[in-house]
Chain A
Amino acid sequence: MAGDTDSFNQLVLRWERPIYALAYRVIGRDEDARDVAQETFLRAFRALPGFKGQAKFSSWLYRIALNLCRDWIRRKKRTPVVDMPEDVDFIEMAADQGPVESIEDLVARNEMSRIVAEGMKLLPEEQRAAIVLKEYHGLTFQEIADLQGCPLSTVKTRLYQGLSVLRKHMESRGMTSFASGRAS
């Protein structure tokens, strides 16, 4: 049993950050995202004997985490919110990043991050989760469809609708580069 625990802790070490990042982006609160990630691993360990390897371990973890996020959103009966630190210390961030990224770049990145987070708040949970899984976790359309339990075409529709809302939000914030352009 101790060997099981040790082996599982190796998996926890490998997947704790992706699962936390998924939970944070879907429900938007740091402390609650930690709770969700913690509960995800606990449930995964308990259900480990039932895991037959029919799906990828990561997909299995994502499914547990997404269900917990959905439960959290329903329990709180509110749309996801995003904690954005008000007093970001760019000096410290610049020191962490080294000389590669200037303060101006950091400010721009933080500003963009804030705008994206604002836009994400506007999306329904399904569209938001679809975009998060696609953009930040690199899942395929089929994997997202399996996780969300919906047809492939629905995933594409959710992605298109979500991206369109985000695009309009960016335009409303004066980001004119989203009004025209060409795919690279």
Chain B
Amino acid sequence: MNDTFTCDDKATLVAYLYNEIDAPDRLRVDEHLRQCVACAAEVGALANLRTELAAWAPPDAQLGFTLVQRAAGAPSAAPAISRAPWWSSVPVWAQAVAAVLVLAVSAAIANVQVKSGPDGFVVSTGWMTPAGAAVSAAPAPVAGAADEQWRPALIALEQQLRDEIRATRETGTVRAASRSPEADEAMVRRVAQLLDASESRQKRELALRVTQLTRDMDIQRRADLLRVEQAIGHTSVEMARQQQRLNYVIRASTTPQQ
């Protein structure tokens, strides 16, 4: 480098900006910046720019690359990089909700029924006739003397089954009724929480939109001001030129003719 720094030495200016410069050269640039307003402004603006560049960040992507070495006997034994599956970027709660929904839909489609009885829990699937219809269809009229012997037993069994079914329904109703107030309170609390959360979110979203709008307006206002300032500056320069021309004309007109 020469003894003095010159304004067009941009390579040294960049080295100074990134602090990759020898101490003597740094001193020379410092000395120059104390005297040259334009270079000092440029270095300051570039330093500000560097600070703002940090705002640009890539997406927070879930990568999870893994090198997979295939077996020697595989059709292609070349190594491959596997990626994290696409759903790894989905939040866990969303995955859980999706899983529950899939299970519920599957159960609805398959008409899964779970019953408890003397033989334990019974899980059945498929579209079946209603239980009442099945029960009423059970004592179908039969013919024959041998069947007559079984008829009272079958009627007794049918009655017993009906009693059990009724008892089961009543018990279920009683249980449901006894749980009702607590369940209602819990439900009300849950709904209130959801409403609060929704309201809070709406407030924050509103604040966000207002902030964005304000910021956009501010940026637009600053841009407009900049344009106005530039226009005023241009007009001032033009007026100064006109003034100079006018002065020249006045001087020329007042000069005595030879």
Contacts and interface: CB of A to CB of B under 8 A. Distances in A.
Nearest to A31: B61
B116 interface: no
Contact of B65 (A41, A85, A178): A41
B41 interface: yes
B156 interface: no
Given A8-B67, A103-B208, A174-B219, A180 B55 contact: no
A5 interface: yes
Interface stretch (B45-53, B131-139, B159-167, B241-249): B45-53
Contacts, number: 155
B46 A37 contact: no
Contact of B49 (A33, A46, A167): A167
Interface of A is mostly: helix
B222 A183 contact: no
B19 to A, nearest CB: 10
> Chain B: interface secondary structure?
helix
A9 B66 contact: yes
Contacts of B83: 34, 38
B66 A181 contact: no
Interface stretch (A17-25, A52-60, A64-72, A73-81): A17-25
A51 interface: no
A123 B33 CA distance: 28
A30 B205 CA distance: 27
Contacts of A37: 63, 65
Contacts of B220: 174
A30 B59 contact: yes
Contact of B10 (A25, A117, A160, A167): A160
Given A34-B63, A141-B20, A91 B205 contact: yes
Contacts of A16: 63-65
Interface string A106-143: 01111111001100100000000001001110001100
Interface string B16-56: 01101000000000000100000011011111111011111
B10 A12 contact: no
Contact of B80 (A42, A134, A167, A171): A42
Contacts of A179: 41, 45
B92 interface: no
Contact of A20 (B15, B43, B61, B79): B61
B76 to A, nearest CB: 13
A92 to B, nearest CB: 9
Given A25-B58, A157-B11, A183-B17, A17 B43 contact: no
A137 to B, nearest CB: 12
Contacts of A100: none
B201 to A, nearest CB: 6
Nearest to B60: A96
A153 B47 contact: no
A162 B55 CA distance: 17
A108 B44 CA distance: 21
Interface string B60-80: 010111111100000000011
30 contacts: A2-B69, A5-B68, A5-B79, A8-B67, A16-B64, A20-B58, A21-B58, A42-B79, A91-B201, A91-B205, A103-B208, A104-B211, A107-B212, A112-B56, A134-B18, A141-B15, A159-B14, A163-B50, A166-B53, A170-B49, A171-B226, A175-B52, A179-B41, A180-B45, A181-B41, A182-B44, A182-B47, A183-B33, A183-B43, A183-B44
Given A12-B66, A42-B79, 15 more contacts: A2-B69, A12-B81, A34-B83, A37-B63, A41-B65, A41-B67, A94-B204, A109-B55, A156-B10, A166-B49, A173-B219, A177-B45, A177-B48, A182-B47, A183-B44
